[in-house]
């Protein structure tokens, strides 16, 4: 297990992609400010990174984008790891704890094109190709426009944007948070945010999960200073929905939770949920709200509503399909 001496820098495991390192660097800077200790990044690879040519659904495993970085913490080489929260499997790791959930960035998806199209403005007089490998995005795109040709697309954010700027695709759907954090060169591309009624984002999208060993008391105490209670509450509702639906990061499930203040000054936690098949033929939405301290119960109630509405049959059919 690594030493916790004050003089030694925090060692932060991260994936090697530019976006992952920007995210990890933001945590390093916050941790340095909070504790007075320097921090260094340890870029590592994961199973998903090692096989960029394979569709996510082709892997017979969970945690494709966290396994290598988690291992560095579990083995004691690193003190903590910074994840995109939506990459975490829905089941918690028994020896790790999410010790901090910093304030999240805008969780919406964005449609990126050369023309700056809104979803409703995609041309109808010719075939339009939109890139995404996320079943959730594909389902909602197909629900809105059956004539859109949805093309599988993996790779880091820069690779996906180049597919549009070089003319291989008309547009891509990506997480707006990645664009805001990385601020990549876009070569004249225009990103248009997609509202929740157009494409509902993935549970925990836009949020970071900072994990450390469950028995690392010093690290946990330090990371607690980076935690944003409102974001953690919202993520708790979204993730509980995912857990109850037994959906991993590849399932066609969407969720958005938000703490809102009513005209009377009361705080309410509002949760939007979605489940559907990859073609968008069967797509179920619902909305519930409760007090902010009841996030887990809200996620469970939303899951029950979606399952009863028809989502249960959809998920059963998806699990029965050969991989």
What are the sequence ranges of the domains in the chain? 10-104+207-227, 109-193, 236-320
Place of tokens 């591309």: 189
From the candidates 137, 138, 232, 239, give the one annotated as an active-site residue: 137
Q: Render pLDDT for 5-24 as a digit per residue (tens, 0 to 9).
A: 557 999 999 999 999 999 99
**CATH of region 236-320, choose from 3.30.160.40, 3.40.50.10190, 3.90.1150.10, 3.30.830.10:** 3.30.160.40
Give the mean pLDDT of the chain: 92
Going by pLDDT thresholds of 50, 70 and 90, the confidence category of residue 116 is very high
CATH number of 10-104+207-227: 3.40.190.10
What's the average model confidence in pLDDT over 154-164? 92
By the 10 Å C-beta count (0-12 exposed, 13-18 middle, 19+ buried), 174 is classed as: buried
pTM of the model: 0.91
Share of the chain above pLDDT 90, in %: 83
From the candidates 15, 70, 86, 239, give the one annotated as an active-site residue: 86
Tokens of 277: 């098949």
Cα(110)–Cα(201) distance, rounded to whole angstroms?
Answer: 10
Beta strand spans in the chain (E): 10-15, 39-44, 80-84, 96-100, 109-113, 129-131, 149-151, 171-175, 190-193, 208-213, 253-261, 267-276, 283-290
From the candidates 136, 162, 181, 285, give the one annotated as an active-site residue: 136
User: Is position 137 annotated as part of the catalytic site?
Assistant: yes
User: Is position 86 annotated as part of the catalytic site?
Assistant: yes
From the candidates 25, 154, 214, 220, give the one annotated as an active-site residue: 154
130 with 123: CB under 8 angstroms? no
For helices 295-306 and 229-245, what crossing angle results, to 10°?
A: 30
User: Is position 249 annotated as part of the catalytic site?
Assistant: yes
pLDDT at position 59, please? 44
User: Is position 239 annotated as part of the catalytic site?
Assistant: no
pLDDT at position 162, please? 94
User: Is position 49 annotated as part of the catalytic site?
Assistant: no
Closest CA to 228 of 26, 68, 66: 26
Establish whether domains 10-104+207-227 and 109-193 are of one fold. yes
Going by pLDDT thresholds of 50, 70 and 90, the confidence category of residue 251 is confident
Q: Is 90 exceeded by the pLDDT of residue 52? A: no
Q: Is 70 exceeded by the pLDDT of residue 242? A: yes
Beta bridge partners of 173: 111
pLDDT at position 1, please? 44
Going by pLDDT thresholds of 50, 70 and 90, the confidence category of residue 58 is very low
Q: Is 60 exceeded by the pLDDT of residue 262? A: yes
Class at the top of the CATH hierarchy for domain 109-193: alpha beta
């Amino acid at each position: 297990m690594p030493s916790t001496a004050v003089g030694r820098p925090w060692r932060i495991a991260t994936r090697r992609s530019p976006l992952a390192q920007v995210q990890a660097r933001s945590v390093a800077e916050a941790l340095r400010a909070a504790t007075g200790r320097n921090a260094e990044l340890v870029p590592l690879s994961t199973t998903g990174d090692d096989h960029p040519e394979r569709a996510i659904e082709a892997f017979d495993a969970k945690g494709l984008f966290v396994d290598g970085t988690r291992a560095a913490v579990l083995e004691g080489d690193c003190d903590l790891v910074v994840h995109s929260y939506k990459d975490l499997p829905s089941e918690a790791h028994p020896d790790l704890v999410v010790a901090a959930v910093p304030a999240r960035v805008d969780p919406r998806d964005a449609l990126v094109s050369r023309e700056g199209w809104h979803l409703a403005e995609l041309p109808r007089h010719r075939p339009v190709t939109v890139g995404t490998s996320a079943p959730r995005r594909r389902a909602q795109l197909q629900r809105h426009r059956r004539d859109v040709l949805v093309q599988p697309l993996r790779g880091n954010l820069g690779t996906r944007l180049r597919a549009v700027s070089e003319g291989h695709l008309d547009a891509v759907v990506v997480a707006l948070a990645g664009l805001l954090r990385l601020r990549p060169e876009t070569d004249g591309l225009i990103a248009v945010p997609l509202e929740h009624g157009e494409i509902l984002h993935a549970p925990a999208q836009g949020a970071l999960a900072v994990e450390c060993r469950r028995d690392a008391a010093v690290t946990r105490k330090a990371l607690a200073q980076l935690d944003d209670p409102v974001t953690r509450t919202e993520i708790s509702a979204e993730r509980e929905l995912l857990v109850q639906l037994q959906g991993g990061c590849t399932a066609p499930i969407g969720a958005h939770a938000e703490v809102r203040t009513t005209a009377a000054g009361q705080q309410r936690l509002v949760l939007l949920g979605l489940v559907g098949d990859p073609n968008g033929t069967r797509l179920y939405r619902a909305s519930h709200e409760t007090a902010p301290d009841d996030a887990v119960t809200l996620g469970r109630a939303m899951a029950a509503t979606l399952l009863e509405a028809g989502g249960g049959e959809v998920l059963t059919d998806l699990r029965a399909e050969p991989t």
